[in-house]
Structure 1
Amino acid sequence: MMRSISTFFFVTLGFGHSVFAADVFFHMQGGSGNRQAFFANTLVDDRTPVSMLMGSIEIKQINVTVIYENAQQPEWAEMRLQFECISKVDFGKGIPEPAAWTDPVKMRLGEGGTILRRSDLKIESTPAGTWQTASSPVLLKAHKLACNPDEVNAAVRASSTGKTLDSALFNTELRKIGFTEDVTLMNGSAPEFLELAWTRLWAGSKRPDPSGKWAKQATPEEKAAAMAKVAEIQKQLGELTQKTKQAYEPKIQAAESKFDFDKVAAKLRNGREMNRTESQMLMVWQGRLEEEVASIVGRPSMTATGNVHFLSYGKDYDTRAAYDYKGGTYVTNGVYWSCDIQFVTAPDQQGAFRVADVRIRADSNMNLSANDACEGLLHVPGN
């Protein structure tokens, strides 16, 4: 049944929408009178707390809208589903094997969820929930969408050709993360999903109407005026979206890439306390390619551990000498100082190694600061 419904929705919704659809009709369950339709947005948020950075588990949040047929349920629920996901960042410890599709998952309801009450069509906030183990088909599917955002977004882009959405290609791409049932790409919102459910999914079923809103039929003139207004808004929005996309998409992609790498860098540092000089150097070097380090600072001594590179530089000065004083007592005279700087690099999503940490160790018998001991090594980009 899911396949035939998906095909129908592709025909009715796929054309005329933005080429980068961001919503997926991915599940329906329940018998007549108690059916539920599930829609997910492909934009996934990272909710990993600081205490879990550098760990093997990340917390991902996906927005899911449920449309209910049952009169005892709300019209819809918009939920912020949070899942535990295996981290795909490798810092030399290896990435754990992904769980089997049917393995239970850990999830909770996040903050910010709402329902539309059926009785009076008013929005009501819903509380966050506690962590629990789940194995229902719908939550297993939502877990895969949440924990594989790169693969899902790549599938969306690959399936967007011109002004059409290729759901067949999208489903082929989703097979890579374990989906066996077809889903459907679309752009929409909770009110649109609600209308689709009652006019297509559950066409012919009696619609509960305690508020009396659905019984009132709009006149042909009202419908025509509303459609004209919607068409004009869509036209203006389309033009604005295209202009905005051309102007800002490269900047947005660069910002997203930087944000993703900032999280990688934070995991690698793992809350390490830094001195003032390290903080200043990291401020200007984080995210820079390791080739830039070599070009500006000089050829480093390079080592690697797992998927992390260490670019090391050092200098020292030592005039110390030991003297025999009064028959066997040795004293040391002279000046000593040393500086070791290590640029730690890790791969970004494209595999390019970028600076994630700068470690500086300075030593001296003259109480020199790191800035003084490392003079000549503290190069910065552009200088």
Structure 2
Amino acid sequence: MSKIKTTFSIGLLIALLPSHLSAFGVILQYQGEVDNREAYFADVRVIKNRTPPNQIMGPTEIREIDVTAVYENPNKPEFVHTKLQFECPNSYSMNMETHQITENKQKVKSVDSVKFRIGENSYKLRRSDLKAEPIPVSDWKTSDAPMLLKAGTIACNDIEFDKALHAAIKSKDFDFDGFGKRISKLGLPSDLPLIGQTLSPEFLDFAWDQLWWDKVSAGKRPDPSGKWAKVPTKEEKEAAIKKLQAQYDAVQPQIEAAKKSLLSEITKAQTQRKADIETAKNGSKHPDGSKMNKYEAKLANVFHGQTEQQVVEYMGNPQFNQAGDTRFLRYTQTWEKQGVTVYGSQGVIGGDAGGYAECFAEFSLKQDAQGVWRVDDILVRSDYEGIGSREVRLLCNDIVRGK
């Protein structure tokens, strides 16, 4: 049996991306022979920092990326969702008393091996009954597996990867060539396939709809549970709806509390709205002449021209990066709620919607004539998925308030 080629053309995947790119996933690895093929996907929207507080700004940090493996083999799970954590060398470390920055001479972009472990909340979806089964946290290990090398490179260079993504977004278009050139500097393949799916159930559907459609069309998709081909009965539909209603009722108190909190925040914000609008209209601009949003303008009014130490003292310990003659201090706030998915005939039939939201503020600093690093520009950006839309503004408000 011949081995399946594992190369992809980005051009072939353009049609699979949504017209408005608000979510990103990548295909890390595609391998194996027919009947035993595997596809590894990563959600690259948010790379989490799992560094213990006492190790912040030390020589190493812990980064976590969500990776999903989808299997064709009937003896393996439908998919395995892992929270992969990598030990990454910090490009720079900071003396927490003096805020002095020191470059790490051992910093790397791509690597020959990675140190990793499986983090909390990892799980697999059993093929036999489509039930989720937790995967325990693993010990730290070292590996040179290609999939792990690529996942580790993205996780350990998350700011650079994020910049490559956003630099490639041109209005309604995406600059695939430019994106490929930027990520190749990190040691990643320039044709790393980028897709619009980000969640494990979406990756599962993508694998069977786009990669292994021949099996589906021939009626040979492994289906020991019988739920992919079976038409649900009226009783099963009612049971699924009843289960979803129970889940909804269980979280209703938290939803009501969140609504009250949100209303309170909106009431407070109304008194500042006019001032915010005027600031955005008449206030600061970026060095390229474009207008700042209200969050950027607020921060610029306080920090433009201020020193690096003053930023750190007010905002707290940042994610740090430096490129050429510019330093970047990034502060990120995230929110996440795990969704509940119910599977049935032909895939997903319902669930309790989850979501995520993030907001980051990035300070760009340049040296003055005396060599002191001072704030030259400020960028505030946000993104969300699902029900995270209602959390974005709260996160950005938290960013502006500092530590």
CA contact (8 A) 1:115 1:126 kept: yes
Q: Helix, strand or coil for the counterpart of 2:27?
A: strand
- What is the match of residue 182 of structure 1? 191
Deviation by residue 1:170-193 (Cα, 9 ceiling, x = unmatched)? 222111101125222223222221
Q: CA deviation at 1:94?
A: 2.2
With over 3 angstroms needed to count, the CA separation of the structure-2 counterparts of 1:181 and 1:51, relative to structure 1, is same
- What is the match of residue 381 of structure 1? none
With over 3 angstroms needed to count, the CA separation of the structure-2 counterparts of 1:190 and 1:200, relative to structure 1, is same
Pick aligned residue for 2:61 from 58, 61, 66: 58
The one-letter amino acid of 1:10's match is I
Pick aligned residue for 1:193 from 195, 203, 222: 203
With over 3 angstroms needed to count, the CA separation of the structure-2 counterparts of 1:90 and 1:196, relative to structure 1, is same
- What is the match of residue 379 of structure 1? none
CA distance in structure 1 between the aligned counterparts of 2:85 and 2:22, rounded to whole angstroms: 24
- What is the match of residue 30 of structure 2? 28
Q: Helix, strand or coil for the counterpart of 2:224?
A: coil
Are 2:222 and 1:208 equivalent residues in the alignment? Answer: yes
- What is the match of residue 8 of structure 2? 4
CA contact (8 A) 1:152 1:174 kept: yes
Q: How does 1:40-189 map to 2 (within 5 A)?
A: 40-42=42-44, 43-91=46-94, 92-99=101-108, 101-180=110-189, 182-188=191-197, 189=199
Deviation by residue 1:61-89 (Cα, 9 ceiling, x = unmatched)? 01111111111111111110000111123
CA distance in structure 1 between the aligned counterparts of 2:108 and 2:228, rounded to whole angstroms: 45
RMSD: 3.4
CA contact (8 A) 2:59 2:93 kept: no
With over 3 angstroms needed to count, the CA separation of the structure-2 counterparts of 1:185 and 1:55, relative to structure 1, is same
Deviation by residue 1:146-203 (Cα, 9 ceiling, x = unmatched)? 0011111111112222333333332221111011252222232222211221122122
CA contact (8 A) 2:59 2:90 kept: yes
Deviation by residue 1:109-162 (Cα, 9 ceiling, x = unmatched)? 000112111111112221111101111000000000000111111111122223
- What is the match of residue 318 of structure 1? none
Q: CA deviation at 1:253?
A: 7.6
Q: Helix, strand or coil for the counterpart of 1:192?
A: helix
Q: Helix, strand or coil for the counterpart of 2:80?
A: strand
The one-letter amino acid of 1:114's match is Y
CA distance in structure 1 between the aligned counterparts of 2:109 and 2:313, rounded to whole angstroms: 40
CA contact (8 A) 1:10 1:184 kept: no
Q: CA deviation at 1:21?
A: 3.2
- What is the match of residue 378 of structure 1? none
CA distance in structure 2 between the aligned counterparts of 1:284 and 1:138, rounded to whole angstroms: 36
CA contact (8 A) 2:109 2:186 kept: no
Report percent identity of matched pairs. 36
- What is the match of residue 362 of structure 1? none
CA contact (8 A) 1:20 1:160 kept: no
The one-letter amino acid of 1:65's match is T
Q: Helix, strand or coil for the counterpart of 2:64?
A: strand
Q: How does 1:245-264 map to 2 (within 5 A)?
A: none
Q: CA deviation at 1:252?
A: 7.6
Q: Helix, strand or coil for the counterpart of 2:69?
A: strand
Q: CA deviation at 1:354?
A: 7.6
CA distance in structure 2 between the aligned counterparts of 1:45 and 1:173, rounded to whole angstroms: 22
Alignment length, in residue pairs?
A: 244
The one-letter amino acid of 2:163's match is A
Q: CA deviation at 1:3?
A: 4.3
Q: Helix, strand or coil for the counterpart of 1:177?
A: coil
CA contact (8 A) 1:21 1:156 kept: no
Q: Higher mean Cα deviation, 141-150 or 191-200?
A: 191-200
With over 3 angstroms needed to count, the CA separation of the structure-2 counterparts of 1:24 and 1:131, relative to structure 1, is same
Are 2:351 and 1:351 equivalent residues in the alignment? Answer: no
Runs of 4 or more above 6 Å deviation: 251-257
CA distance in structure 2 between the aligned counterparts of 1:102 and 1:284, rounded to whole angstroms: 31
- Listed as ranges, the gaps of 5+ residues in structure 1 are 219-246, 258-264, 269-281, 289-306, 308-347, 356-383
With over 3 angstroms needed to count, the CA separation of the structure-2 counterparts of 1:14 and 1:168, relative to structure 1, is farther
With over 3 angstroms needed to count, the CA separation of the structure-2 counterparts of 1:351 and 1:48, relative to structure 1, is same
Q: CA deviation at 1:100?
A: 7.0
